[in-house]
Chain A
């Protein structure tokens, strides 16, 4: 059974960056996309981007293009999401989630991490 374990909560200043990790264990890592989804307080989920580790190139949502970078480290079965130029509106819980389709950033998210709260405050 695949498990996704994320790094701990972060408090950041406006204008800084945050890097959140998502470690996969107990299942296939390289051939299925790991996606990042964020959820601001009281809001619905929002997809940020995803990466299929074997291809090592990520796809990003238009809203985050140029501000987010998703990378994968096959040696440690860990995916990272870095968000730059943080503003207060980026305060949210950030989730990683594995997609269903073989070697595609597509399909349902069957497995989710526990979430990482990122708070942006001066």
Chain B
């Protein structure tokens, strides 16, 4: 089974800061990597799909990069509304399988 290691588990940053979260796969996963934001009591919201594609309607300060085993999620200028927990998600299609990272809880300083 592919293991996903997401770091850090929590992060505190100031408004306007650049924030980076990483996700590492135990073996190559092409670009089958998505990023979600979740706020308390709400369903996860897709931000980035297939490693680097910005979901429609998501602000351009969010971005993703990487391929193979190492992936990065970036918020270029942190805003107060970005508080929440962020998850990476890897998927396979043969057979179907989806694995979420452990999550990164983002706070504002």
List residues of A whose CB falls within 8 A of some B CB. Answer: 35, 37, 44-47, 50, 59, 61, 95, 97, 100-101, 104-110, 112-115
Contact = CB atoms under 8 A, between A and B. Distances in A.
User: What is the size category of the interface that chain B forms with chain A?
Assistant: 20 to 34
Contacts, number: 59
Given A44-B87, A108-B55, 20 more contacts: A35-B98, A37-B98, A44-B101, A45-B87, A46-B100, A50-B96, A59-B96, A61-B97, A61-B98, A105-B93, A106-B92, A106-B93, A106-B96, A108-B50, A108-B89, A108-B91, A109-B34, A112-B43, A112-B44, A113-B43
B46 A44 contact: no
Contact of B44 (A106, A107, A109): A109
Contacts of A107: 49-50, 91
A68 to B, nearest CB: 14
B28 to A, nearest CB: 16
A108 B96 contact: no
Nearest to B1: A62
Main secondary structure of the interface of B (DSSP, over half): strand
A73 B50 CA distance: 30
Contact of A109 (B32, B46, B50, B97): B46
Given A44-B100, A47-B98, A59-B96, A95 B89 contact: no
A44 B103 CA distance: 7
Given A35-B98, A45-B100, A47-B99, A104 B93 contact: yes
Interface in B23-56: 32, 34, 36, 43-46, 49-50, 55
Interface string B65-103: 000000000000000000000010101110111111111
Contacts of B103: 44
